[in-house]
A and B are shown apart, each in its own frame.
Chain A
Amino acid sequence: MIRIKELSYRFDEQKELSFPDWSLTPKEHALILGPSGGGKTTLLHLMSGLLKPTTGEVMIGDTCISDLSNSRLDRFRGDHIGFVFQKPHLIPSLTVKANIRLATFLGKTSADKVADVMEDLGIADLAHRAPHQISQGQAQRVAIARAVVNKPVVIFGDEPTASLDDQSCEAVVDLLKAQARACGASLVLATHDYRVKSQIKNHLNL
């Protein structure tokens, strides 16, 4: 379960964003919709603990993450949260496999699942390639593998489909949904991509 209450974030004197109270049941999929600059990314960062809210609280499961210390928050993020961004942003110095392995290392979980996840996402034969040797679509799959390998309770996506064509867009959303279902995680995507709207019905409009 994810719940936000009286959440607001102040950037500076002039700019402050506040967000409606909202909650999500476990394993539920949802979209955060809104125009550019409307605070989608900020909300995503607040919900994942990358930003500390000015007021209000964020609950993930039984944990109030706005109360965690910095290092416990890092731990929590590694353990319970998976991220997918608009671009894959793989670490260029590591192979595909090592990129996914990195997530298990930083999340302090077992590396056993790395091979299975790669098999699942159809990237097993890319294991020893460098990020610059694979296509954008393949890289996005690696990024998804990296997000799900620790069996998170929630997967956040920040415009994961924005730079994809229609076909890949649908494939990626399907993949995210399937992977979220497979590891029993909630899925929260921030997007302004109309193509995604039809695929996930639960919307939060900012």
Chain B
Amino acid sequence: MNIPYLSLKSLVKKPLTTFLSWLLLAFGVTIVVIILLASSQLKSEISKNAQGIDLVVGAKGSPLQLILANIFHVDFPTGNIGLKEAARVSKSRYIGSAIPLSLGDSYRGFRIVGSTQDYPRLYKAELAKGEWFEDHMEVVVGAEVAQKEGLSVGDTFESQHGLSEDAEAHGGHAFQVVGVMKPTYTVMDKLIVTGIHSVWEVHEHEGEHHHHEEDSLIEISHLGISVTSEEFDEKEITSLLISYRSPMGAVMLPRSINSESSFQAASPAFETARLFNIIGVGVKVLNGLGLLIIIISAISVFVALLNSLKERKFDIAIMRSMGATRRQIFAHILIEGLLITFAGAISGLVIAHVAMQVVANTIGGIAPEPWVILQEEWLVLAGCLAIGVVASLIPAVMAYKTDISKTLAKG
């Protein structure tokens, strides 16, 4: 037997009150921790997917949309830009590397990205099977695409125009899978990557047939592609993913592109910060709600202890008559408050992680890690215990001060 045992027994004796305090605290902590986990996961997903990309150049429109469509592949592209001008813009001496992207097609909801081999390389993707795309209509699929659609090397499929699942199918242009990537735990796992020419080819109008005029190829070396002069003049791409050559690029490049070309340049860092500002209001409201519930729970712990003290005055006096010291009585009440807050906080943490696991299972895709324990969670736990101390302090002091003789004389 020990003091915590007595406290526990006393909690079990009044299950409804205990349950209410526990429930409130667990619920409050769940809200706060889910927000913590979600925003930390979101931030790490964003930085993982945007690494190595300093600037996205594309058609004018919403800069946030440009970022979402071309880095995270969640929104629709703002439009296309002419290859000729893109080649000119990307020659700037501030640019370290530029990767062209051409979007617009999908296969069962997975986006097909026309690009160069530099694009998967950006995410350090490696091949699990097969080889990288070289020729027309060859694709390499991300790990998740391969797994969900059962695609493997040698399989062929026809793409759909547009980025949604119910989009209209293109007839006659079959892609062939030549490689499957290993999981990178980035957006790359959800993509089908092919050469930029393949995307153009699918979109060519009937009759306007493509001739490989090998002799008149123009090499755009800084984009890593070669095109015919006809293509150079007429073809379009969706965006360029740019990394700066030097920090000076951050100062010069966005301004020069935005003012001197028909394109717009958007910085992922800036736009995602802006995104966080927008959702930040909601996050703050939810966080405030969570904290409010935690405080209400602390009040319920306080009231429960104070109420029980009235009934237990005699028990406490009896315990004192049996040799319990004032300190033991103080600890008895304090531990009772702490046990309930500790149980509530731990349950809240567990529920939050389980909820993240459920969310991760449902949305699939970019791998959230629901069981990573953040440092802030220890803070939440410590905070709850502190609140538990505050809530049980006054009842504990009152118990400490119980006048045993007077109480016993009344009984």
Q: Give Cα A188–Cα B324 distance, bound, in whole angstroms.
A: 22
Q: Pick the residue among B1, B314, B324, B408 that contacts A74 (CB under 8 A).
A: B324
Q: Give Cα A51–Cα B405 distance, bound, in whole angstroms.
A: 6
A105 interface contact, C-beta 8 A:
yes
Nearest A residue to B315, CB-CB: A91
Q: Give Cα A103–Cα B322 distance, bound, in whole angstroms.
A: 6
Residues of A within 8 A of B10 (CB): 93
A107 interface contact, C-beta 8 A:
yes
A89 interface contact, C-beta 8 A:
yes
CB within 8 Å of B: which of A65-93?
Answer: 70-71, 74-79, 81, 83, 85-87, 89, 91-93
**Contact across chains for A106 and B323 when beta carbons are under 8 A apart:** yes
**Contact across chains for B411 and A85 when beta carbons are under 8 A apart:** yes
Residues of A within 8 A of B2 (CB): 105
Interface string of B315-327 (1 = CB under 8 A from A): 1001111111111
Residues of A within 8 A of B319 (CB): 91, 102, 106
In this complex, the interface size class of chain B, counting residues with CB under 8 Å from chain A, is 20 to 34
Q: Pick the residue among A45, A75, A101 that contacts B409 (CB under 8 A).
A: A45
In the complex, what's the smallest C-beta–C-beta distance from A123 to chain B, in angstroms? 18
Q: Give Cα A73–Cα B405 distance, bound, in whole angstroms.
A: 14
A57 interface contact, C-beta 8 A:
no
Q: Pick the residue among A50, A70, A92 that contacts B321 (CB under 8 A).
A: A50
B13 interface contact, C-beta 8 A:
yes
Q: Give Cα A147–Cα B405 distance, bound, in whole angstroms.
A: 17
**Contact across chains for A77 and B321 when beta carbons are under 8 A apart:** yes
Interface residue total, chain A, C-beta cutoff 8 A: 35
In the complex, what's the smallest C-beta–C-beta distance from A83 to chain B, in angstroms? 5
Q: Give Cα A85–Cα B317 distance, bound, in whole angstroms.
A: 12
Q: Pick the residue among A48, A50, A106 that contacts B328 (CB under 8 A).
A: A106
Q: Give Cα A74–Cα B400 distance, bound, in whole angstroms.
A: 13
Interface string of A90-126 (1 = CB under 8 A from B): 0111100010011101111001000000000000000
Q: Give Cα A158–Cα B404 distance, bound, in whole angstroms.
A: 14
**Contact across chains for B321 and A94 when beta carbons are under 8 A apart:** no
A29 interface contact, C-beta 8 A:
no
Task: Identify the interface centre among B314, B322, B328: most chain A CB within 10 Å of its CB.
Answer: B322
A146 interface contact, C-beta 8 A:
yes
In the complex, what's the smallest C-beta–C-beta distance from A55 to chain B, in angstroms? 17
Residues of B within 8 A of A158 (CB): 408
Chain B residues packing against A (C-beta within 8 Å):
1-2, 6, 9-10, 12-13, 314-315, 318-328, 404-405, 408-409, 411
Jot down 27 A-B pairs with beta carbons below 8 A, ordered by A: A41-B409, A42-B409, A48-B321, A50-B405, A70-B326, A71-B325, A71-B326, A71-B327, A74-B323, A76-B323, A77-B322, A79-B323, A81-B321, A83-B321, A83-B322, A85-B318, A87-B411, A91-B319, A92-B13, A98-B1, A105-B1, A105-B2, A106-B319, A106-B323, A107-B322, A107-B323, A158-B408
